Amino acid sequence: MYSKKIHVKNATGLHARPAADFVAIAAKYDSNITLKRVDDEDLYNAKSIVMLLALGLENGEDAILSAEGADERDAVEALSDLIDSFTE
Protein backbone atom coordinates (compact mmCIF):
# COMPACT_ATOMS: atom_id res chain seq x y z
CA MET A 1 0.00 0.00 0.00
CA TYR A 2 1.18 3.49 -0.85
CA SER A 3 -0.32 6.57 0.84
CA LYS A 4 0.16 10.30 0.73
CA LYS A 5 -1.32 13.22 2.64
CA ILE A 6 -3.05 15.70 0.35
CA HIS A 7 -4.28 19.23 0.99
CA VAL A 8 -7.38 20.61 -0.75
CA LYS A 9 -6.69 24.17 -1.85
CA ASN A 10 -9.53 24.58 -4.35
CA ALA A 11 -11.79 27.38 -3.10
CA THR A 12 -14.91 25.22 -3.49
CA GLY A 13 -13.34 21.97 -2.32
CA LEU A 14 -13.65 18.67 -4.12
CA HIS A 15 -17.04 19.50 -5.65
CA ALA A 16 -18.68 17.99 -8.75
CA ARG A 17 -16.31 19.03 -11.56
CA PRO A 18 -13.02 18.32 -9.77
CA ALA A 19 -14.47 15.11 -8.33
CA ALA A 20 -15.46 13.97 -11.83
CA ASP A 21 -11.94 14.72 -13.10
CA PHE A 22 -10.50 12.86 -10.11
CA VAL A 23 -12.65 9.77 -10.73
CA ALA A 24 -11.78 9.77 -14.45
CA ILE A 25 -8.06 9.63 -13.62
CA ALA A 26 -8.53 7.10 -10.81
CA ALA A 27 -10.42 4.77 -13.16
CA LYS A 28 -7.31 4.45 -15.34
CA TYR A 29 -5.49 2.56 -12.59
CA ASP A 30 -5.95 -1.06 -11.56
CA SER A 31 -5.19 -0.42 -7.89
CA ASN A 32 -7.87 0.00 -5.26
CA ILE A 33 -7.81 3.71 -4.39
CA THR A 34 -9.30 5.28 -1.28
CA LEU A 35 -9.54 8.68 0.36
CA LYS A 36 -10.16 9.50 4.01
CA ARG A 37 -9.99 12.57 6.17
CA VAL A 38 -6.93 12.80 8.38
CA ASP A 39 -7.75 11.31 11.82
CA ASP A 40 -10.88 9.58 10.49
CA GLU A 41 -11.33 5.86 9.95
CA ASP A 42 -14.01 6.04 7.22
CA LEU A 43 -12.59 5.10 3.81
CA TYR A 44 -14.15 6.36 0.58
CA ASN A 45 -13.74 4.66 -2.79
CA ALA A 46 -11.87 7.19 -4.92
CA LYS A 47 -13.24 5.66 -8.12
CA SER A 48 -16.82 6.55 -7.19
CA ILE A 49 -18.15 10.07 -7.82
CA VAL A 50 -20.94 9.41 -5.32
CA MET A 51 -18.46 8.45 -2.60
CA LEU A 52 -16.23 11.47 -3.27
CA LEU A 53 -19.17 13.84 -3.12
CA ALA A 54 -20.32 12.14 0.10
CA LEU A 55 -16.84 12.65 1.56
CA GLY A 56 -17.25 16.35 0.81
CA LEU A 57 -13.68 17.55 1.22
CA GLU A 58 -13.62 21.32 1.55
CA ASN A 59 -11.02 24.01 1.00
CA GLY A 60 -8.25 23.73 3.56
CA GLU A 61 -8.91 20.13 4.55
CA ASP A 62 -6.28 17.42 4.60
CA ALA A 63 -6.91 13.84 3.56
CA ILE A 64 -5.02 10.62 3.09
CA LEU A 65 -4.96 9.25 -0.45
CA SER A 66 -4.07 5.55 -0.58
CA ALA A 67 -3.77 2.90 -3.24
CA GLU A 68 -3.07 -0.80 -3.15
CA GLY A 69 -2.07 -2.74 -6.23
CA ALA A 70 0.49 -3.04 -8.99
CA ASP A 71 0.30 0.65 -9.97
CA GLU A 72 -0.32 2.09 -6.50
CA ARG A 73 2.52 4.60 -6.48
CA ASP A 74 1.69 5.93 -9.95
CA ALA A 75 -1.99 6.24 -9.03
CA VAL A 76 -1.38 8.17 -5.81
CA GLU A 77 1.18 10.50 -7.37
CA ALA A 78 -1.04 11.26 -10.41
CA LEU A 79 -4.08 11.94 -8.24
CA SER A 80 -2.09 14.00 -5.76
CA ASP A 81 -0.76 16.12 -8.64
CA LEU A 82 -4.34 16.54 -9.89
CA ILE A 83 -5.53 17.75 -6.49
CA ASP A 84 -2.64 20.22 -6.40
CA SER A 85 -3.70 21.56 -9.81
CA PHE A 86 -7.19 22.49 -8.57
CA THR A 87 -6.70 26.08 -7.46
CA GLU A 88 -9.75 27.95 -8.75
11-25 per-position pLDDT tens digit: 889 999 999 999 999
Residue 87 banded pLDDT, cuts 50, 70, 90: confident
Tell me, what's the pLDDT at 86? 86
Active site residue 15: yes
Q: Which domain holds residue 56?
A: 2-85
* Structural domains counted in the chain: 1
Q: Stretch 50-59: mean pLDDT, rounded?
A: 95
CATH number at residue 30: 3.30.1340.10
Sort residue 69 into left (φ over 0), alpha (ψ -120 to 50) or beta.
Answer: left
Task: Write down the pTM of the prediction.
Answer: 0.93
Q: Phi first, then psi: give them for residue 35, nearest 5 degrees.
A: -130, 145
Q: Which of 8, 14, 15, 67 is catalytic?
A: 15
Tell me, what's the pLDDT at 88? 57
Strand order, beta sheet including 32-37: 2-7, 62-68, 32-37, 44-45
